[in-house]
Amino acid sequence: MASPAAAASGHRRRLLLLLIALLLLPFAAAAAPHRHRVPSRHLASLNASAPPTTFFEVDRPIRPPLGSAGPCSALLLSHSFGETYGRPPVTAAYAPPECLAAARARGASLALAVLEWAADCRGRQFDRIFGVWLSGAELLRSCTAEPRATGIVWSVSRDVTRYAALLNEPGEVAVYLGNLVDKTYTGVYHVNLTLHLYFHPAPPPLTQHADLIVPISRSLPLNDGQWFAVQNATDVQSKSLSIPSNTYRAVLEVSVSFHSSDEFWYTNPPNEYIQANNLSSVSGNGAFREVIVKVDDHIVGAVWPFTVIYTGGINPLLWRPITGIGSFNLPTYDIDITPFLGKLLDGKEHNFGFAVTNALDVWYIDANLHLWLDHKSKKTVGSLISYDAPALALNLDYGFSGLDGKFVTGASRHVSATGSVKSSYGEVTTTFYQRFSYVNSNVYRSNGTVQVVNQTIDAKSGVFVKDTSAVLLSEEVHKVFPLYVYTGTSDQVGDEYSLISLVKLGINEKSVSGGKLGFSYRSLRNAQSARGTMKVKKNLVVSGLGQTHQVYKYMGTDGCYFRDVSSKNYTIISDNSGDSCSKGSPSSGVKFSSNKNQPARKRLLKL
Ligand SMILES: *[C@@H]1O[C@H](CO)[C@@H](O)[C@H](O)[C@H]1NC(C)=O
Ligand SMILES: *[C@@H]1O[C@H](CO)[C@@H](O)[C@H](O)[C@H]1NC(C)=O
Ligand SMILES: *[C@@H]1O[C@H](CO)[C@@H](O)[C@H](O)[C@H]1NC(C)=O
Ligand SMILES: *[C@@H]1O[C@H](CO)[C@@H](O)[C@H](O)[C@H]1NC(C)=O
Ligand SMILES: *[C@@H]1O[C@H](CO)[C@@H](O)[C@H](O)[C@H]1NC(C)=O
Ligand SMILES: *[C@@H]1O[C@H](CO)[C@@H](O)[C@H](O)[C@H]1NC(C)=O
Ligand SMILES: *[C@@H]1O[C@H](CO)[C@@H](O)[C@H](O)[C@H]1NC(C)=O
């Protein structure tokens, strides 16, 4: 993933680093299996008149709610991202689409808003991280697909209904996609960004979406994205702001991505191994990272991020055309900070800060603060009742001899807070907790040419909201992120080597919620298994093969979705999907209809 390493001097810096590594540390650089990312790839003999390949991330379609009408679509921005690295984001004035104002005027409500990123590219190019902001609030964090000579197309759709408050107001759309184009890296990303809106005839339930969204990001003008860049373990990036004094609920939605030295943080050995083996080209500080979110002096929560592998990661041929889980649509992480409102309702500025435990350069982090306001009162009153945030528990067991060794890292953290808020809706008590655990085993063998990483992140969180008479909301979410990465380097001679890789990556998520808004249940099992080979020469992939199998199973009170898809050498070789929830299937209790060999579904269903 290109980031500051592809900065100023861009890939030249990478090549230089590699060159320095090769010159200074021929054996160390040669033997160490840390080539998780190849900055460019060139596969010979492509037929330039062949049709473009459609890349995609497997996800369930976004369905407009029953009885809603639409879409009414508005093009927000159209741009060709060529020489954009280190330049200001591309911006466009945002005016709420006329249909949105008209719907509000007739008492209808927004049922669904979908942001669609559609792009094409041809040639050769790095994978680039990009962000889309509306009035400073991040709406999409994503990574570009890597083009082929014959061209590629892809699209990403994200449900942005929760930003209704922002969509209703004039503002500014900003897109930062830092790209560099030269004789070698020819790909220009052509992009259309479109908003699709669907409406309900009736007004919305009052409490559904926030009344105000306050961006916790960097303000324009900037020659970068609006995210903060956290560069090391002591770096804290923050913003001070005040919130309306009639706030009665507050949720911080955090966006996170990791690049350059920490792109593959979960494979990093401790510094001691690096020093002992003089591996100056390898990233260290061990394999544990977490984002800490602070409001003033309180740790209000943490993010133990899903290990997104970008489209150039490990072996780029694994992610063509089925991209890595989350790479086109990075997950965001919610931290309910309502218990802390007692500290924030004084009309004064408070500091919202982000740090990353053990960070290496660089983490891009920002957040959207979703606020619910008491429309019947100018002032709400809060108090923090209890708060518990013991220090991170982190342990490392290891042993190594030369380049071979084993490192087992374990970690756990717990944060919980309870607070009450008095508003015209009564006195409401909110408890929010997070409970994390993590284990990572990192083994080097065959004189460091083989690395095997097996990691599991387990994150539980819950919100309980009650007033004096009833439970208003009780929600529990359990996420498990398994990851297995095998890489084997061989035939290393000078600047040439071969790499075999095997990657297993998944998200298992369950959530149950109950209370006044009714019961809901969601369960997702999303797993990828990818294997590939590649031959690399002078930092270019000269040949190789990748294959990927993905199974996505979603069951929820809002519907079901299933897809089982496999690809090999750029081609989809099997693809079954369905959306039936009927009972009776022997394995999952869910029966899915089969659409064998149907092309990838477009995620947005047109009414
Ligand atoms: C192991 O790798 C190191 C560094 O590349 C090299 O110096 C050493 O000769 C290798 N040892 C064996 C037994 O191959
Ligand atoms: C290139 O691809 C086009 C379209 O797929 C095909 O018609 C043509 O025969 C191909 N040319 C060669 C040299 O393979
Ligand atoms: C963007 O929209 C224009 C105009 O409709 C269209 O010609 C172009 O193909 C679109 N580009 C992409 C990448 O979707
Ligand atoms: C960490 O990063 C910050 C921000 O870039 C910088 O000011 C500081 O010097 C760095 N600290 C270390 C120890 O590198
Ligand atoms: C690492 O470098 C130091 C000093 O340059 C040298 O003494 C030591 O032998 C080197 N160790 C290895 C494993 O190459
Ligand atoms: C990873 O480790 C877990 C136990 O922590 C084990 O159950 C699992 O089989 C391992 N995965 C692989 C692919 O070896
Ligand atoms: C992969 O596909 C290309 C055509 O796109 C073909 O030339 C090549 O032989 C295929 N490789 C394998 C190993 O199937």
How many domains are contained in the chain? 1
Name the average pLDDT for the chain.
Answer: 88
Closest ligand to 235 CA? 4
Candidate from 25, 272, 278 with most ligand 5 atoms within 8 A of CB, to mutate:
278
Least confident of 181-185, 206-210, 357-361: 206-210
The reply to whether ligand 4 has any atom less than 6 angstroms from the CB of 261 is no
Torsion of the alpha carbons at 565, 306, 226 and 126, rounded to the nearest 10: -50
Q: Please give the single-letter amino acid code of residue 316.
A: P
SS3 of 92-125: the string is EEECCCHHHHHHHHCCCEEEEEEEEEEEEECCCC
Tell me the ligand closest to 79's alpha carbon: 3
**pLDDT above 50 (res 8):** no
Q: Which residues line ligand 3 (CB under 6 A)?
A: 78, 118-120, 190, 192
CA distance 487 to 499: 7
Q: How far is the CA of 146 from the centre of ligand 1 (A)?
A: 35
From the list 122, 187, 186, 109, the residue with the least C-alpha distance to 149 is 122
Residue 432 covered by a domain: yes
**Residue whose C-alpha is closest to residue 371's, from 341, 410, 351, 400:** 341
- Specify the higher pLDDT residue, 19 or 262: 262
Q: Residues 532-552: pLDDT tens digits?
A: 999 988 777 889 999 999 999
Which is more confidently placed, 542 or 396? 396
What's the rounded mean pLDDT across residues 484-509?
94
| Index of the ligand 3 atom closest to the CA of residue 119 | 13
Tell how far the Cα of 217 is from the centroid of ligand 4, in angstroms.
Answer: 19
Give the pLDDT score at 30: 26
- The pLDDT-based confidence of 206 (bands split at 50, 70, 90) is low
Q: pLDDT tens-digit profile of 140-158?
A: 999 999 999 899 999 999 9
pLDDT at 89 over 90: yes
Mean pLDDT of 68-75: 95
Please give all residues whose beta carbon lies within 6 A of any atom in ligand 5, as ranges: 277-278
Q: What is the mean pLDDT of residues 544-573?
A: 97
- What pLDDT, on a 0 to 100 scale, did the predictor assign at position 1? 52
CA 133 / ligand 4 centre spacing (Å): 27
Residue 238 has what pLDDT? 98
Residue 417 near residue 388, CB atoms below 8 Å: yes
602 in any annotated domain: no
> Three-class SS of residue 562?
strand
Q: How confident is the model at residue 407 (pLDDT cuts 50, 70, 90)?
A: very high
pLDDT over 60 (residue 32): no
465 lines ligand 1 (CB under 6 A): no
Q: Provide, rounded to the nearest whole percent, the portion of the chain with pLDDT above 70.
A: 87
pLDDT (average), residues 193-211: 86
Distance 318 CA to ligand 7 centre (A): 14
* CB burial readout 374-413, b (16+ within 10 A) else e: beeeeebebeeeeeebeebebeeeeebeebebebbbebeb
Return the best residue to mutate from 27, 279, 490, 493 for the ligand 1 pocket (most ligand atoms within 8 A of CB): 27
Q: Report if pTM > 0.75.
A: yes
Domain hosting 382: range is 10-578
Pocket residues for ligand 7 (CB within 6 Å)? 545, 569-570
The percent of residues in the chain predicted with pLDDT above 90, rounded, is 80
Q: Is residue 338 part of a domain?
A: yes
Q: Is a pLDDT exceeding 70 seen at residue 29? A: no
pLDDT at 203 over 90: no
- Mean pLDDT calculated for residue range 248-276: 97
Tokens matching residue 391: 């220090």
Residue at 498 is within a domain = yes
Tokens of 99: 């249909």
Q: What pLDDT does residue 24 have?
A: 24
Domain contains 209: yes
> Which of 538-549 are b and which e, b meaning 16 or more Cβ less than 10 Å from the residue's Cβ?
ebbbeebebbbb
Q: For the chain, how far is it from start to end, CA to CA, in angstroms?
A: 37
Residue 27 has pLDDT above 60, yes or no: no
pLDDT greater than 90 at residue 13 = no
Residue 498 has pLDDT above 80, yes or no: yes
Integer Cα distance of 200 and 554 in angstroms: 25
Give the model's pLDDT for residue 588: 39
Residue 597 pLDDT more than 70?
no
Our CA angle for 64, 68, 72, nearest 5°, is 80
226-246 pLDDT tens trace: 999 999 999 999 999 999 999
**Residue 62: pLDDT over 60:** yes
Ligand 2 midpoint to CA 48 (Å): 8
The per-residue pLDDT for range 268-310, each reduced to its tens digit, is: 999 999 999 999 889 999 999 999 999 999 999 999 999 999 9
Residue 535 lies in a domain: yes
Residue 364 lies in a domain: yes
Residue nearest to atom 13 of ligand 6 (CA): 484
- Residues with Cβ within 8 Å of residue 233, at least 6 apart in sequence: 285, 355, 356, 357, 358, 359
Find out whether 404 and 444 touch, Cβ atoms under 8 Å.
yes
**Position 107 in a domain:** yes
For residue 402, give both structure tokens: 């030369």
Lowest mean pLDDT among 16-25, 147-156, 328-337: 16-25
Give residue 210's pLDDT: 96
Q: Is the CB of 511 under 6 A from ligand 4?
A: no
Q: Is the peptide bond before 215 cis (omega within 30 degrees of 0)?
A: no
Q: Whose CA is nearest to atom 3 of ligand 4?
A: 235
